[in-house]
Amino acid sequence: MKRLLCLLLIGTSITAWTQADPPIWVHDIYRRINHPQELWHTGFVQDRLKTNEDASSKLRTMERDAINQLAESIIITIESETQTDNINQQQSGNDNSTNFRQKIKTATSATLINLDVNSYYDPSTGIVYAFAAIKRSDLSNYYQKQIIADLNRIETAIEIIRQHIIAERKSSARSKIKEAKDLLNDVRFYRTMISVNTELNESNLQPRREDELHRALEKILIDFNMDIIVFLDCQFEQKDSAHDAFENDHGILCDIIMQALNENECIITADIKEADFILTLITSTTQRSGGNDIFGILSYYANVKGSLYDCTENKYLVNFNILNDPNVYAAGRSPEDAATKAFKLPALKNMIMEKILHVIIMN
């Protein structure tokens, strides 16, 4: 819904009415006769101006409310008609690619130059009105053009994906596959928008071409390994006796990050040759307090230097250093106890995952 509101707001032609006589569109009979539901999507709101409320600001708010109501009418229409379509398909046993249709709550951003928005403040009554309208046929024409444009983009994306796979640029291929899948979803949405707003012109919508591109992408997905495979290179770095809480590599952080990656659908490998990414984590500790002051508190920081290397692109994507961070220390009965607690703090795991996860997924 938010994205649909954006698309409606971008191309509006707004007229704020301030003439003495109310415009004719404030009357329900006029709107019903001149903007019938089978031809138009509309939104109409009215409210009373509060004491000390600015009329101009209220007009703008009402215009947005009218657009919001118009958007809701589009969504309600789509929900109603696609639900009926799904029932008919189930009864007929038709299980084709249009089964994606469901309650559509969001829309793809667009520029609609034919959206008409009007507002009016009646100072004699203190009532503020706003009316938004767009022809169903204008929506359909716009989305028909979007279908053709996106089919062209999908065709180009599939060719680029194949080139990436041949060149063993796995991360780039994965990113382009996601782009192509998103475009296909957009095309399906556009087709739904058209079907509920006007009669379909199948020759212009190119359904066969969409099916062919869908099958081509599906074949790539079958042949291409989409798994995100990560090799973890965990190391331990000693500073000096005053700051080293551990004598040997404790491995605490490595286990925590391994579990976090698994939870985010990454596969951990012990063979570096299989990896898409190499995540290097070098841990160390710093004594924060030695327990010799009046408070007698022994505490340590958990430190980590890290890097994320893309094996297919042969480049480092992320480098970071978490050192003596005020959110990553803990107290304990011994150096090992304090440092262990520090490395187990959720804050440290979250810092690392925020730095690497979105890069892994998007590449």
* Distance between CA atoms of residues 133 and 37, nearest Å: 10
Greater confidence (241 vs 274) lies with 274
pLDDT at site 88: 44
User: Do the Cβ atoms of 130 and 44 come closer than 8 Å?
Assistant: yes
Do residues 155 and 129 both lie within one domain? no
Do residues 270 and 351 both lie within one domain? yes
Q: Structure pTM?
A: 0.58
Do residues 320 and 332 both lie within one domain? yes
pLDDT at site 81: 60
Report the run of H or E that residue 354 belongs to, with start and end: helix 346-362
Give the residue from 93, 114, 135 where a domain finishes. 135
Do residues 233 and 281 both lie within one domain? yes
Do residues 128 and 149 both lie within one domain? no
When pLDDT is cut at 50, 70 and 90, the band that residue 302 belongs to is very high
The pairing of strands 228-236 and 266-269 is parallel
Give the residue from 223, 250, 282 where a domain finishes. 223
Do residues 277 and 256 both lie within one domain? yes
Give the residue from 223, 245, 271 where a domain finishes. 223
pLDDT at site 95: 40
When pLDDT is cut at 50, 70 and 90, the band that residue 98 belongs to is very low
* Distance between CA atoms of residues 151 and 171, nearest Å: 23
* Boundaries of domain holding 117: 2-135
Do residues 218 and 235 both lie within one domain? no
Greater confidence (1 vs 218) lies with 218
Do residues 129 and 203 both lie within one domain? no
User: Do the Cβ atoms of 70 and 133 come closer than 8 Å?
Assistant: yes
Provide the residue type at 10 as one letter: I
Looking at the predicted structure, is the pLDDT value of residue 310 above 80?
yes
Do residues 261 and 345 both lie within one domain? yes
For residue 23, what are the CA distances in angstroms to 20, 252, 339?
9, 72, 73
pLDDT at site 240: 77
Do residues 114 and 171 both lie within one domain? no
* Distance between CA atoms of residues 102 and 192, nearest Å: 10
Do residues 243 and 215 both lie within one domain? no
When pLDDT is cut at 50, 70 and 90, the band that residue 86 belongs to is very low
Report the run of H or E that residue 147 belongs to, with start and end: helix 136-166
CATH of the domain at 339: 3.40.50
pLDDT in tens, 157-204: 999 999 988 887 777 788 899 899 999 988 888 887 776 666 655 556
When pLDDT is cut at 50, 70 and 90, the band that residue 291 belongs to is confident
pLDDT in tens, 147-159: 899 999 999 999 9
- For the chain, the domain total comes to 3
User: What are 339-343's contacts with CB under 8 Å, separation 24+?
Assistant: 339/245, 339/246, 339/250, 339/285, 339/300, 339/302, 340/250, 340/252, 342/285, 342/300, 342/301, 342/302, 343/250, 343/252, 343/253, 343/256, 343/283, 343/302
pLDDT in tens, 2-29: 455 555 554 444 444 455 688 999 999 9
Mean pLDDT value across the chain:
82
Do residues 171 and 218 both lie within one domain? yes
